[in-house]
Amino acid sequence: EQIPGLVEILGDEEIAKRVVKAAKSSMGMDTSEQDMLNIIIFTDRMISLALYRKQLYSYLEEKMSTVAPNLSALIGETVAARLIQKAGSLTSLAKCPASTVQILGAEKALFR
């Protein structure tokens, strides 16, 4: 069967078996060339977006380690960047009392 190839792609034999089982019971139809072309274009875009996201995260890590290394080490680059953004600046965040920082971090949960 096609399980060894799927295991190589998916990295999990159990998932590969489930994919093969679902494919056997599928009531699908053949894909047209136009559909296949659109699927390929879509997957290429998804892959490029995933690569861009990795590059963006690397950029964020680099900038945050320069701008706010201690804050980044404590709470992570992404959360640190969001806190700085909500406070307006790193200086504003540094001047905030702990209760305000707590509210900044909990705003999303409070105002749902």
Looking at this protein, which amino acid is placed at residue 20? Answer: V
Please say if the pLDDT value at position 112 is more than 70.
no
Domain extents in the chain: 1-29, 31-110
> Please, which residues have CB within 8 angstroms of residue 81's CB and are 6 or more apart in sequence?
60, 64
pLDDT in tens, 5-42: 777 888 888 888 888 888 777 777 788 999 999 999 99
Predicted local distance difference test score (pLDDT) of residue 2: 62
- State both tokens at 7: 């295991």
SS3 for 43? helix
Predicted local distance difference test score (pLDDT) of residue 83: 93
Please say if the pLDDT value at position 108 is more than 70.
no
Please say if the pLDDT value at position 1 is more than 60.
no
User: What is the architecture of the domain spanning 31-110?
Assistant: Orthogonal Bundle (1.10)
Is 0.75 surpassed by the pTM of this model? no
